[in-house]
Structure 1
Amino acid sequence: MNGMVLDFERIDKNSLSLVGGKGANLGEMTQAGLPVPSGFCVTTEAYSAFIGQSAEMAGYFRQLDLVREDQLQEIASLGSAIREHLISLPIPEYIRSAIADGLRRSGKERAYAVRSSATAEDLPTASFAGQQDTYLNVCGEEQLMLAIRKCWASLFTDRAISYRAKNRFDHRAVLLSVVVQQMVFPEVSGIMFTADPISGHRGTLTIDASFGLGEALVSGLVSADLYQVRSGELISKKIARKKLAIFGLPEGGTITRELAPEEQERQALGDPQIMELAALGEKIKRHYGSDQDIEWCFAEGRFYIVQSRPITSLYPLAHVSAPPGESPHLLISFGHQQMMTDAIKPMGLSLLRTMFPFGKSTVRAESKYTVTAGGRMFIDITPLLSLKLARILFPKLVSGIDEMIGSGVAEFVQRDSFVRHLPRVPGLKEQVAGFAGRILLRGARNLLFAPVSKGHPTVNAYIEASARQGKSRLSGVTGPERVARIQEQIGALLRMMFLELMPYPLSGILSSRIIRALSDRWLGEPDIVHVLNKSLPGNVTSEMGLIIGDLADIARPYPQVIELIRSSEPKLFRQRLRQVEGGDAFGLAWDRLMEKYGMRSPGEIDVTRPRWRDDPGTLLPSIESHLRSMQPGEHRSKFAQGAEEAEAAERDVLARLRAQPLGWLKARLMSRGIRVFRGMMGLREHPKYLMMQHFGMIREALCDEGRLLAESGVLKDAEDVFYLSLDELLQLTRGERPAGLEHLLDQRKQEFERYRTLTPPRLMTSEGEIVTGRRKQQDAPEGALLGTPVSAGVVEGIARVVLRPEEAKLSKGEIMIAPFTDPGWTPLFHSAVGLVMEVGGLMTHGAVVAREYGLPAVVGIDRATELIRDGDRIRLDGTRGYVLVLERNGKQP
């Protein structure tokens, strides 16, 4: 035996570089005493020596470096050429001899399965499963040598090349070992997941089983029985009709046969066997310390484990501290509520957890009702749901934020297993009633009695005072004192915002409900509120959009300014304005915008993201789109037209009511409701605006602390501060540097990059189960994509998919398709004629602004940015809540 071949008994998890993920797992399981068919691995050293004899591979690798994941034709041509070349190469004699020795030790007369095992395969963060080929029932030395060469060549299949390109793996760095494992000719085989791969439930072990070799199941030739085991009990069985099975042939190879009719619907495994296999799965999970995707087979009365790899498709688990026997906790995505579902760096999460006002031992502490998973924050709503009234009202409340969240919560709280074991929180009812009661009472007072004209001045004065006080507290201090003040400032912010500001927009929301109910009862027109919602006065975010439109108009006469707006170096934008004609006029307007809104940005709830004042690159494309899609002054005239339409609708409604019996009373009640609605709903964005004022100043303070720590050598880079929590930063500024800090930061950076690729769920449990709601029955054409209608109207146009505002290229008459929108996206709204979003609800930012601008909008269409392609012609129905693709880039769908 030499470095070219290693038997399973000599392999463990530390052998990854020599035998790849699959080989290391087989060796590890063999060492652990699990029932693994014996065999050996042809190592990566043998692979390197094999391709090293080729004079052509260096050139092929250079070509691979240039290939992108979506260049399918180039990948197919290049991959085919490489595979043909490698299969034609002879295996060097010393490698061939080592393989032959391994075959003799394992049993020359036996049949073997020959599988590839890549060094980047079956890892916790990446699974290359299915990227290379497998050869079954290989008999004899010559068949084995050919199968090994084919395995080496399969490192360059089209799918393997594309996968590496997509995940940015160096094609040279991914080496290939070949697993040669004794064949077991099973009666039954299949796959076992130690967690439910569909729902994500970590306590549900799932088994797929079919007759014969597992290749029929893996390749999709047959349906499999599905068994589920939870807490030692067989909770579900679905017996499939299994028409085909793959069997091994004595002379080598396999054959696909049709099963006899009486066999096709027979349960593949008996109940005792299911439980035995499940226990084996739990043992493997305990050994690896993570959930596993396991290939197994059953032959001659015993189970064999053919392979085990981590399940990489599960969304990371949120770790919730709960006593044994308590209900699984229900966690709601904070990002979906805030219309920003991207991953957030640790400092951003720490700030949000500190800001959440409930479940805190001190104002500076992070809330125990918040948890993180996959780079996102989730709120544990389980204690609140211990209140019966909350289980009724909360789903209705969050439906306005996201219909699917509301539906999911409503369904989940009906589970007897959840309600029966809910935690009891002493004094919670009184705390909730006291806090919510104060807000509701003030909201009701504003609705019924308070002078509407005082709403905006009062709120604006509070915002100015709060921002001024916050800036004062953070100035003149550094180090631990500044970090502690950040914690205090952000820790108290949300509670005060709720109490002081929320009663104003709340009165607007309440009045909209009253207007809808009364107009439906008295006029039979509940949707009149949509017209009244247009061009609300004083909305700080809408005003920002108008000012940005003004900037575009200022730039129009100056070609050099426009050229700078389109420049690829936005960070130099303000500096270069001084050097061009019209730059002074535009610069003055730009500075006024930055003074009031420079702390905003797309994804602004993540304090670690650059603000507009840091990097105008996310704002300039919006101005450029405005230049292309709008006429001079058009944005202002549209807004004025919306206000006129709302005023005309108000006059019409009141006139029609006065003509009815008791019309004077009806008109008076409706008039009050409309005044409150028009006067207070424009304040809906003010709390978020204040929050961003504080986020802007806190970000500056954090960046300054990062710079000081980098200058003193504590951190490598100033931006490393964003990979710490507030408490960790406090310790560092006190001179308490933990061991392994650099390793910790590197690990968090790698995790963040992985988290960016994940799609977070709206709802999940502490057991990892993804909870999904059901959408209401909708009147929509066949094939339409269904969502939540949030802004009435129907429009047809070209779809423009916008994943990031800085990449936006909206033109006249286009409908914006976005994953989400927050206030940092608002500048794009003027350029669009309609809006489609993957997340959101009736009261989220995008919906509110769309109604103000009179844009038809539908939200809550999962994967809308994938299902609707850039350039498709679509019909958007914001009244009924659907999108229909009419043409795929000029062709019938």
Structure 2
Amino acid sequence: MAVVIQEMVEAEVAGVLFTSDPVTGNPSIITITANYGLGESVVSASAEPDTITLKKSWRNKLTVINKALGSKKTKMVMDDNGGTLEVAVEDKATDSICLNDSMALRLADISLYVQDAFGSPRDIEFALAENCVYLLQARPITNNNTWTDFELIHEQDTAVIADHELLTKANTGEVFPGGISPLTVSILPSALSICLESHFKAVQLKNNNFHIITNNLGVSHQHIFLNMLSMCYRCNESKLTPVVEALDLNVFGHRVTTEQFLSWGIQRNGYLNTFERVYTSLMAFSDIFFNSRRVNTAKKYFNKYHIKYEQANDAATLFNAIQAALPDLFTSIKTHLSTSSASSLMQVIALITLSEGKNEISDDNVCDMASLLGSFGGVESADVPSALKALIKNVVEVSDENMYDIATLLGSVGEVWSTELPLALKISFKSMVTMHGHNIQIRFDFESKSWGMDPRHLVENLQMMVRHPASFQTPSKQVDLQESLENIKSTVKPSTKRALKFILPICRKAVVLRETTKSLLIKNVDALRLSYRKLGHLMVTEGRLPGADLIFYLKNQEIRQLIETRSSTFITKAMRRKRLQSHLEKLKFPEISVGCPKPIKEISKKLHLGGDRFSRTPVHHEAVKGTDIKTHLKNRTDIQNGEILVTYSTDVGWTPYFPLLGGVITEIGGLISHGAVVAREYGLPCIVGAALATQIIHSGDVIVLDGSAGTITVIEDRGKKPV
């Protein structure tokens, strides 16, 4: 170990230079922040420095492109008695940039030499005295390798290989309604895509090698999309036909295919000739024939599927057990794809039969088909509300209104069922959880808690049903198939009705099998969900994660690396992903995206304080909305998760509280001030140099801090006093 002692330079001007943009990492941007006197005033943010931005061409030609004047009210100078002294800067000096263009270009030229010598972008501290340049320190830019929010949002995006790629949420939006946790995205979309490709190869006579480089499912912004060119337009007709229209109705519920869409599909996949069409149809019908046997086999294996995570005493053992169980996921997916495709085929056949081969499927045909398919039992997913109704009916029957307030009896937590209720209801509740405990709104996301894991979701549904007794009344009797056929609006021949009488039972059975395999697949996912949650707790116990829920913000391969290396890089990334997740979950996309999916922008009226908004220096690109602003370190104990810190400046004392913050605003400081540096490390939106912010913004105001635009907008002025 050694201690380096440098002679202090009595600097006239000093500052810091970044050889690449410290926010974006742009290598063509050089940023200099400087002030009069010693560099301490710049580094400690005790004074607002001047900022000079230079552009570097590919030939290293340097140009000054922007100069921002800082207030520079104080500077640090050497004290004759030793040490340093803070003094005021003359008024005349504060009105001009402390570095002229020629010196800025000279510093930038020297910095490029230093960067080449070290082989990486540098953070350089310098001092100027008597027209000489002194380099005091040169270190790597610490956050240059830090992932930006944009990179974290798009890190698992799949390639969009054409401007006319067609991606839709019409189908996937049902099971993946919003942004999905990174762990789920790292496993399920690829597994589904691989199984889909395997299924297509099994039923098609020829396969386009083009699909080696495409995905049947697309990912963007942590949302899952169906690739229409790889799925909907895989087996094409040469022109628009009722079959294409029927498939649209199957997937989207309305007509979407245009001549342009079909031409793009044919351009990529071609269209089937007569022999290929017959072969594909025969293979698809074989699925219908063998599906009952497949489903029975799957039910025996997956009905009580369980990964034995209880026996694992360490994270590595459990992780390996989970990986060993992943092939079962592929098995359950393939079984579901077989029943799903068979169900789709039968519905298309039924719809074409009902339309009697006309060139266009009428609205009456669509309504009739919905009616014919909509009222039959035996579908497992439809059994859930029925089971809830039966359970509530039991509650009502055994409860005495004079003794029980039923809604209160249900309680707010599931434990009440094992303590207060009669034995018959305990048994009913346990049976309900056993049969349907794997259900939850976002069924395929590993992070979601199913009813079996957290009965509160189930209890909330039960409470709602109790408060609305009509919700658990006995449904009307199902209509007989013959009667349903007699009541259709479409004018069809008797032979068509006879054909439908034969087709519809097969169609109905296909739907039942499809929903059964979907339930089995969800049970498989639920077993993985439970195992990963247990793994998270083990990793917390072993000191590998600060919180068990963070495991869902790691990719599957990152979990392995974290177990093997204990690298804190993964933890930092997981924490930032978790912070972004609430934003991603709220994103909405068009039903069909042509090219890269772009979220639908929400238009909202912003209320600006005094008709204006702050516009200052952004140091991290993100936007956040928050309230209950803090200004002094003495208020640190009052900090709540997600609050925005508005203060004059920050120092090391604030650092432990940054993980709690939603954003940071300081009145003074530059790109390398403490608040800016720490905010970038934590991935927080931050704006520095917002003069008078603590006087204009009131405690309790609702503000939007936009780190991309560098603006602060007061959208609700409800504070009582300045912060």
| TM-score normalized by the length of structure 1 | 0.45
Query: Structure 2: how far apart are the matches of 1:419 and 1:757?
Result: 35
* Structure 2 SS opposite 1:674: helix
The residue that corresponds to 2:328 in the other structure is 489
The residue that corresponds to 2:224 in the other structure is 377
CA contact (8 A) 1:540 1:689 kept: yes
The residue that corresponds to 2:70 in the other structure is 41
| Structure 1 residue 606 displacement after superposition | 0.7
Deviations 1:568-625 (A, max 9, x none): x32xx2x222433x44332211111111110010011112210011112333332233
Structure ranking higher on relative contact order (CA contacts 8 Å, 6+ apart)? 2
* Structure 1 SS opposite 2:576: helix
Query: Structure 1: how far apart are the matches of 2:295 and 2:235?
Result: 38
Q: 1:522 to 1:764 in 2, by over 3 A?
A: closer
**Counterparts in 2 of 1:365-404, with a 5 A limit?**
369=215, 370=217, 372-378=219-225, 389=236, 397=247, 400-402=250-252
- 1:695 corresponds to which of 517, 521, 525: 525
Deviations 1:199-227 (A, max 9, x none): xxxxxxxxxxxxxxxxxxxxxxxxxxxxx
**Counterparts in 2 of 1:12-91, with a 5 A limit?**
27-29=52-54, 36=65, 38-42=67-71
**Counterparts in 2 of 1:111-190, with a 5 A limit?**
none
* Structure 2 SS opposite 1:332: strand
Q: 1:358 to 1:707 in 2, by over 3 A?
A: same
- 1:608 corresponds to which of 425, 441, 447: 447
**Residue 516 in 1 paired to residue 380 in 2?**
no
CA contact (8 A) 2:332 2:517 kept: no
CA contact (8 A) 1:2 1:98 kept: no
Deviations 1:412-436 (A, max 9, x none): 6657xx998x6x9xxx999xx99x9
The residue that corresponds to 1:791 in the other structure is none
Q: Counterpart of 2:302 in structure 1: which amino acid?
A: A
| Structure 1 residue 40 displacement after superposition | 0.5
**Counterparts in 2 of 1:658-737, with a 5 A limit?**
663=494, 665-732=495-562, 735-737=564-566
Query: Structure 2: how far apart are the matches of 1:655 and 1:387?
Result: 31
Query: Structure 2: how far apart are the matches of 1:317 and 1:25?
Result: 36
Query: Structure 1: how far apart are the matches of 2:50 and 2:244?
Result: 45
CA contact (8 A) 1:337 1:401 kept: no
| Structure 1 residue 758 displacement after superposition | 2.8
CA contact (8 A) 2:539 2:545 kept: yes
**Residue 441 in 1 paired to residue 441 in 2?**
no
Query: Structure 1: how far apart are the matches of 2:431 and 2:43?
Result: 58
* Structure 2 SS opposite 1:10: strand
Q: Mean alpha-carbon deviation: is it higher for 621-630 or for 609-618?
A: 621-630
**Residue 554 in 1 paired to residue 394 in 2?**
yes
- 1:744 corresponds to which of 573, 577, 598: 573
Q: Counterpart of 1:649 in structure 2: which amino acid?
A: S
CA contact (8 A) 2:233 2:266 kept: yes
Q: 1:35 to 1:317 in 2, by over 3 A?
A: farther
CA contact (8 A) 2:195 2:330 kept: no
- 1:628 corresponds to which of 437, 462, 467: 467
Q: How many residues align?
A: 484
| Structure 1 residue 438 displacement after superposition | 8.2
CA contact (8 A) 2:553 2:575 kept: no
Query: Structure 1: how far apart are the matches of 2:244 and 2:357?
Result: 26
The residue that corresponds to 2:369 in the other structure is 529
Deviations 1:797-839 (A, max 9, x none): xxxxxxxxxxxxxxxxxxxxxxxxxxxxxxxxxxxxxxxxxxx
The residue that corresponds to 1:797 in the other structure is none
Q: 1:655 to 1:482 in 2, by over 3 A?
A: closer
| Structure 1 residue 701 displacement after superposition | 1.8
CA contact (8 A) 1:19 1:41 kept: no
CA contact (8 A) 1:357 1:494 kept: no
Q: Which runs of 5+ in 2 are unaligned?
A: 1-10, 18-30, 36-40, 76-85, 100-143, 200-211, 601-723
| Structure 1 residue 550 displacement after superposition | 1.5
Query: Structure 1: how far apart are the matches of 2:238 and 2:357?
Result: 30
Query: Structure 2: how far apart are the matches of 1:743 and 1:712?
Result: 17
Q: Counterpart of 1:516 in structure 2: which amino acid?
A: L
> What is the root-mean-square deviation of aligned Cα atoms in Å?
5.5
Deviations 1:720-756 (A, max 9, x none): 22122223334455x3444623223223223324423
| Structure 1 residue 699 displacement after superposition | 1.3
Query: Structure 1: how far apart are the matches of 2:46 and 2:558?
Result: 39
CA contact (8 A) 1:763 1:771 kept: no
CA contact (8 A) 2:221 2:584 kept: yes
The residue that corresponds to 2:181 in the other structure is 345
The residue that corresponds to 1:462 in the other structure is 297
| TM-score normalized by the length of structure 2 | 0.54
**Residue 102 in 1 paired to residue 86 in 2?**
no
CA contact (8 A) 2:52 2:64 kept: no
**Counterparts in 2 of 1:774-853, with a 5 A limit?**
none
Query: Structure 1: how far apart are the matches of 2:337 and 2:342?
Result: 10
| Structure 1 residue 705 displacement after superposition | 2.2
Query: Structure 1: how far apart are the matches of 2:261 and 2:361?
Result: 37
Q: Counterpart of 1:42 in structure 2: which amino acid?
A: S
Query: Structure 2: how far apart are the matches of 1:15 and 1:647?
Result: 85
CA contact (8 A) 2:195 2:333 kept: no
- 2:584 corresponds to which of 755, 761, 765: 755
Query: Structure 2: how far apart are the matches of 1:553 and 1:679?
Result: 29
Query: Structure 2: how far apart are the matches of 1:443 and 1:518?
Result: 22
CA contact (8 A) 1:18 1:45 kept: no
CA contact (8 A) 2:51 2:68 kept: no
Query: Structure 2: how far apart are the matches of 1:344 and 1:34?
Result: 45
| Structure 1 residue 502 displacement after superposition | 3.0
The residue that corresponds to 1:216 in the other structure is none
| Structure 1 residue 698 displacement after superposition | 1.4
Query: Structure 1: how far apart are the matches of 2:525 and 2:96?
Result: 69
Deviations 1:831-890 (A, max 9, x none): xxxxxxxxxxxxxxxxxxxxxxxxxxxxxxxxxxxxxxxxxxxxxxxxxxxxxxxxxxxx
Deviations 1:343-371 (A, max 9, x none): 111111122134214289999xx997255
Query: Structure 2: how far apart are the matches of 1:321 and 1:694?
Result: 28
Q: Counterpart of 2:250 in structure 1: which amino acid?
A: G
| Structure 1 residue 475 displacement after superposition | 8.5
- 1:10 corresponds to which of 1, 21, 33: 33
Query: Structure 1: how far apart are the matches of 2:50 and 2:395?
Result: 62
Query: Structure 2: how far apart are the matches of 1:327 and 1:554?
Result: 57
Query: Structure 2: how far apart are the matches of 1:492 and 1:503?
Result: 16
CA contact (8 A) 1:18 1:43 kept: no
Deviations 1:80-114 (A, max 9, x none): xxxxxxxxxxxxxx99966653225599xxxxxxx
CA contact (8 A) 1:706 1:721 kept: yes
| Structure 1 residue 757 displacement after superposition | 4.0
* Structure 1 SS opposite 2:69: strand
Q: Percent of pairs identical after alignment?
A: 11
